[in-house]
Structure 1
């Protein structure tokens, strides 16, 4: 079992793997139990949720405090105040959503210590920024929720609040601190790891596994995660989430019999992008099966929405009933598996990639050749948009060097465009594909693509142009059945019936098993003429 958690936050049960935040965890635990209000603030992705669950909560002894389940500030679709309802849903699922916070606390059974004194009640609200910066139309409900929290602190002696917020919301919290803390309050600014903390987060989790880091290896892992920012005064800082990704990739890459992780392992085995690509494949497959859609549909959506040359920072809002064109249930399932992360902004759920490196990983999530095979299968089934999307994803995954993948991808996209009635786009794509195949001396592929282009001209009502294209295709592959079939149809549409029959006769005569399409087309032509020519 890996001692690293990758993208998701640490859980309370994983506190034995959580290192690098010992001092911060102890400071927050002490402040929470000793003051009316404690505010933990820091940038997004710095690890506030992990600190709370795996660092702070395990330091609170059950005999010394009555700790309620951690709540998140969001609007719950329920009767009464939606923000209050979300807190009550976390603390006591099934309780009436229209009761106040004080009413809920009044109905709880008090707990006492061994001396008969009542235990302090500890309430933690994660992602609490929603209470201080939601949409204007919910301002009254937010203010009412904050008043209820302040009233509860006054009414229930021994109630202590802990709020975790992004640092940009600290200014909005400050005016409420006196009421929520009743004059007793503390703050902790959670920053990214320094080098010493980063090394502890790398080395300490493996201690129970029987493995150790050799000289310089852990330092190399930390450096591989990349410096987030630094200065001469504070020194370099490292993003905890990025460090977890690198460590998870290293752990997965190590052979089972490795006991000492050395410098030799780090550059050769920390294949982070391969690890992330495997993670993406697993999540996409699980969500596709769960939601009853094809994995290609999800992959295409991720590409179209999040994967660009600069994937960092791209976010989309959840609508109704879809998010950027895909059902909300799929977007939420991707977030539950930590491929996407969610954030409440002004009461609206927004999605973005869990980490900026996932953009490249999504491109590499599937083998380009496999993707092209999927695209061809969708094309054969008439799923034109899906076929075109998969072909495009295959081309992006292959990079600029894979000429064959690009040529085949453009051929598929061209046929899909033709089926969708986009003739000009189809001609352009098929011409590019033919030129690429010609440069590779893939003569059969050139003929196949030109046959598709000829069929487009036929569909446009220009059989003479089709005849010209299809005759040139025979120069590349004189025995191509698909070219002969298309040519026979083009000649017929051009009024050259005898020539059409001659071409089709040749196809039938040359084949051990006459192609059904050729037999059917020749029969159609003869039926139109009223002729009696044998088709056997």
Structure 2
């Protein structure tokens, strides 16, 4: 398969690995073997780890492929989210969620009133080649949704846990695995002994070591026709291990972590893969330096995807972003699930969330014939809830310029550009104007001039003549700093052609005229200024820096 084929995707990005992608799943061989062994041996296995550490991927692409079909009876991996099932009166939403995951094709009437033990009793017993019963392996992914649910469902939750414990006791071959985020582990502890019937174990899934991360980067590539150099892979991994902290005093410090977050590595690798020109067959350190930036990638991916879907469906991108934020983020800043109606999903045509699902911003699950959507990962919460507009970033950047905080001004101008929608070229003009100030402060006059020329050109296209005047005035002052009064006067006079009443341009022209040994002309300009500005203008002329 050629590398230019868009179907070649060795890295999965934000979504988890699927079982059929086990050949692409690398770096977790030891963990997969240990979890598979523990699951078959204990009544209850608790797999826990931080969000984004890869619990779902490990379970589907690592553990399940290791289980021998003729020696185990593996039930479909369940997801229990009571709010997704809209139970009828008298139904236990937790039980219904579990059973509908195990038997998605059975209708509600068949499952209604059935306990977990009833369901298992109705299944034919499977035996191995010697006629002995094989263990029944049942996994519940994102099991924190069982224990961290609405207080309104407390009675139903307790009843569900009782049923689960009774099922393990009644069916000695039943082995339960709960995969959940580690911050919710304490909620499971009181129930471990009862559910596991005295046979219980835990497995803590930790982030990748640098060696494991190297396997993740290199492992999927042999079947793609591309390779990556060791230096490029090390750069990707080292960047992810480097964290910069800023204390309350504004002081920065850098530390080097011993581990790599799997979700970040996948985001970087998948985005790098998509950004590479199709003719590239060896990914070098230069490619990694050019393309591999985690947060920028994530936000850019979100914005680009929303913009594409919005354009396809004739929607403003800003409207779609607002819908994403309102629909899929709770008031507590966590992921929210939304069900698909007959024609609309939370006020948006059903075709829109389906398009977002295809691009892996949303994921869908089916519960009793109803389709539910949520963000593919918690890591998307920050891009979706990002409230800063380009205008707010630019406002802060200008404040930083006034405070002579050049590094911050540059960062904020860059953030404004990344927050802008496609077609908002004026943001680039505003940012270029700020870059000009920063470059000037750093003594890089050629770069400052280039930024001024770029900003003036864009402002002119948008007929933002105030902006044209500002940057031409700035460019004139740059020439003045180079002791070229002729060029300075020419630029500033052009600025006044665009904005004749611009006071800053008039003061700058007076400065240039004074430098060119024509003080009377400078005084004539000052005489025309409003009386309240004369003293400030005189101070500027005495001390122009």
TM-score band, normalised by shorter chain:
0.5 to 0.7
Contact 1:277 1:362 in 2 (8 A): no
Distance of 2:159 and 2:168 partners within structure 1: 14
Deviations 1:310-348 (A, max 9, x none): xxx9447568999998659667874675425899xxxx9
Contact 1:73 1:127 in 2 (8 A): yes
47-56 or 354-363: which moved more?
354-363
Q: 300, 304, 308: which is aligned to 1:281?
A: 304
Deviations 1:114-153 (A, max 9, x none): 1111111100000111221211110110111111111111
Distance of 1:70 and 1:243 partners within structure 2: 25
Q: Do structure 1's residue 37 and structure 2's residue 41 form an aligned pair?
A: no
Equivalenced residues, count: 382
Q: Do structure 1's residue 163 and structure 2's residue 178 form an aligned pair?
A: yes
Taking structure 2 as the reference length, what is the TM-score of the superposition?
0.60
Match of 2:87 in 1: 78
Contact 1:283 1:337 in 2 (8 A): no
DSSP 3-state at the match of 2:235: helix
DSSP 3-state at the match of 2:288: helix
Distance 1:251 1:336, change over 3 A: closer
Taking structure 1 as the reference length, what is the TM-score of the superposition?
0.61
Deviations 1:498-520 (A, max 9, x none): xxxxxxxxxxxxxxxxxxxxxxx
Higher RCO (CA < 8 A, seq sep 6+): 2
Distance 1:301 1:252, change over 3 A: same
Match of 2:111 in 1: 97
Q: 109, 120, 128: which is aligned to 1:113?
A: 128
Match of 1:61 in 2: 68
Contact 2:309 2:355 in 1 (8 A): no
254-263 or 243-252: which moved more?
254-263
TM alignment of 1:25-424, pairs within 5 A: 25-75=32-82, 76-79=85-88, 80-93=91-104, 94-95=106-107, 96-98=110-112, 99-227=114-242, 236-270=258-292, 273=296, 277=300, 280-283=303-306, 285-286=308-309, 295-301=317-323, 314-315=333-334, 327=348, 334=356, 337-339=359-361, 354-355=379-380, 358=383, 394=421, 401-403=428-430
Distance of 1:252 and 1:27 partners within structure 2: 34
CA RMSD of aligned residues (A): 4.5
Unaligned runs of 5+ in 2: 1-7, 246-253, 366-371, 391-418, 434-460, 471-496, 500-545
Deviations 1:85-133 (A, max 9, x none): 0111111122423211111111111111111111111000001112212
Contact 1:66 1:122 in 2 (8 A): yes
Distance of 1:97 and 1:142 partners within structure 2: 18
DSSP 3-state at the match of 1:264: helix
Match of 1:494 in 2: none
Distance 1:399 1:106, change over 3 A: farther
Quote how far apart the aligned CAs of 1:282 are.
3.6
Distance 1:300 1:233, change over 3 A: closer
Deviations 1:452-503 (A, max 9, x none): xxxxxxxxxxxxxxxxxxxxxxx999xxxxxxxxxxxxxxxxxxxxxxxxxx
Distance 1:236 1:48, change over 3 A: same
Distance of 1:287 and 1:91 partners within structure 2: 36
Match of 1:414 in 2: none
Match of 1:8 in 2: 15
Structure whose alpha-carbon radius of gyration is higher: 1
Deviations 1:324-377 (A, max 9, x none): 98659667874675425899xxxx998686436746999999xxxxxxxxxxxx
DSSP 3-state at the match of 1:119: coil
Quote how far apart the aligned CAs of 1:10 are.
0.5
Unaligned runs of 5+ in 1: 308-312, 366-391, 407-432, 443-474, 478-536
